[in-house]
Amino acid sequence: MGRYARTIVDLGTGDGAAVLRTARQNPSALVIGVDTDASSLREPSRRAARPIRKGGVPNALFLVADASVVLTALRGRVQELRITLPWGSLLRLVLEGERSFAHAVAGSV
pLDDT of amino acid 28: 97
* 32-88 confidence digits (pLDDT tens): 999 999 999 999 999 999 999 999 999 999 999 998 899 999 999 999 999 876 666
Structure pTM? 0.82
| Cβ pair 106, 75 in contact under 8 A | no
Residue type, 66: D
| Residue ranges with strand state E in 17-93 | 29-35, 60-64, 80-83
